[in-house]
A and B are shown apart, each in its own frame.
Chain A
Amino acid sequence: AQSVTQLGSHVSVSEGALVLLRCNYSSSVPPYLFWYVQYPNQGLQLLLKYTSAATLVKGINGFEAEFKKSETSFHLTKPSAHMSDAAEYFCAVSERGGSYIPTFGRGTSLIVHP
């Protein structure tokens, strides 16, 4: 079964610093990978998704992620953090046991200091 692991439950950066949120996947076949963001007291919304058309995927709000098969990773980055980026970030796969069931990592809380 496909799964994802997010390293680090909390990541703290200063405003203007690089953001790096880590996600590793476990799959024997190329997975369908997603990053979602959740702002306080909100539902999740899509940041970006891997479509296999390109290994570097650009998303909303300046975020991007690179699919690396050799490392089984799909890390999320942003060159310069903004205060408004403070949120919970979830990596996800869309398939589990042959069914299309979104399955999420445990989430990483991004804290941005002024």
Chain B
Amino acid sequence: DVKVTQSSRYLVKRTGEKVFLECVQDMDHENMFWYRQDPGLGLRLIYFSYDVKMKEKGDIPEGYSVSREKKERFSLILESASTNQTSMYLCASSQHTNPNTEAFFGQGTRLTVV
């Protein structure tokens, strides 16, 4: 069974903390994505990566960075967490060369910043 695994389902962090959200996929996918989901706004792309050590900004990269040292792992970093980063974070992966294949999602991490 193919899988995208996010390291935490729920996280509570304090304002100003550095936060790491980890995502691992076992499908040998080239593409990996981080989205943020907020009510009424749908899924907004934060960053994506189409290869190891490659990263591209999405629509809302401010306050975030990413790391992809290995093909299967894509980490999202909140440099200094703020309350407006309280949200659901979703990681996904897909094949790089076929636009007709779907994205596979992790279970999501619900982050609360207090």
Distance of A6 from chain B, by nearest CB (Å): 8
Distance of B42 from chain A, by nearest CB (Å): 4
Cross-chain pair count, CB within 8 angstroms? 67
Q: Are A106's CB and B33's CB within 8 A?
A: no
A42 touching B31 in the complex, CB below 8 Å, given contacts A101-B45, A104-B43: no
- Interface positions, chain B 1-58, Cβ under 8 Å from A, are 4, 9, 31, 33, 35, 40-43, 45, 48, 50, 56, 58
Contact with B along A48-61 (1 / 0, CB 8 A): 01010000000000
Closest to B110 in A: A41
Q: Are B99's CB and A32's CB within 8 A?
A: yes
Does A102 sit at the interface, judged by CB under 8 A?
yes
- Interface positions, chain B 70-105, Cβ under 8 Å from A, are 90, 92, 94-103, 105
Interface secondary structure of A, over-half rule: loop
A43 touching B40 in the complex, CB below 8 Å, given contacts A51-B100, A100-B99, A101-B48: no
Sample of 9 A–B contacts (CB below 8 Å): A32-B100, A43-B108, A94-B99, A94-B102, A100-B31, A100-B95, A100-B97, A102-B94, A106-B41
What is the interface of chain B, defined by CB distance below 8 A to chain A? Answer: 4, 9, 31, 33, 35, 40-43, 45, 48, 50, 56, 58, 90, 92, 94-103, 105-108, 110
